[in-house]
Amino acid sequence: MFVRRHGAVVLNVDYRLSPEHPFPVPVNDSWDVLKWASEHYAEVNADPSKGFVIGGTSAGGNISAVLGFKARDEKLSPPLTGLLLTIPAIGLNYKAIPAEYKDDILSYAQNAEAPILPLPVIDRFMDAFKPDYTSRLHNLFADPVDWSGVPPTVFQICGLDPLRDEAFLAEKKMREAGVKTLVDVYPGLPHAFWSFLPKWGPSQEFVKHTADTMGWLLEQGGK
């Protein structure tokens, strides 16, 4: 879709999966690919000066967010120009939410039995992935917290999703730190609804919005 709509060059990262390869293997695999792309873009006929965007869905949204901050910290060159974070897990442990965020993170309780991604499914994923919640390679809320200096970022958020509020909170923190953000919200709809009902009207709207938001990110990168 991004190739057809925007003439983009797209690399799809086949990182290794848990439980055979738990945290931080998928993150490190993805970082290796990102570094390769930053050094070898000419080999795939890409021009990062027109936009250099990473993105992912759910767990991929977590990895993309983590790598966006890692690229900032390690001064990736050429720099990223955008992040597309679709229904991202930002990395909080819902069983031990820090007191400072408890008033902001209500969706785990409100959407505990939501379709597609209820809390028992999250538990099963995390039991397999075995993340370190104190590491910035998983949890963007882990110390030290610095939300500034990352490229323009799109958040796509579903209302009936346990992950909803940590995405809203991350967007707020980034925006307040001076990051340009765009929020695309799907009220009342569950996590990854478009994957399960691809011909449904809202799913088709989601696909169109996703292409639109990628266009917005590429416009930011080309400035």
So which residues are the catalytic ones?
58, 161, 191
Q: How far is CA 132 from CA 23, 119, 138, in A?
A: 7, 19, 7
- Sequence length of the chain is 223
Torsion of Cα atoms, 94 then 99 then 101 then 103, to 10°: 100
User: What contacts 24+ positions apart, CB below 8 Å, involve 129-134?
Assistant: 129/18, 129/19, 129/22, 129/23, 129/26, 129/59, 130/18, 130/19, 130/22, 130/23, 131/22, 131/23, 131/91, 132/23, 132/24, 133/91, 133/92, 133/93, 133/96
Torsion of Cα atoms, 35 then 23 then 151 then 153, to 10°: 130
Q: Which residue type is seen at 191?
A: H
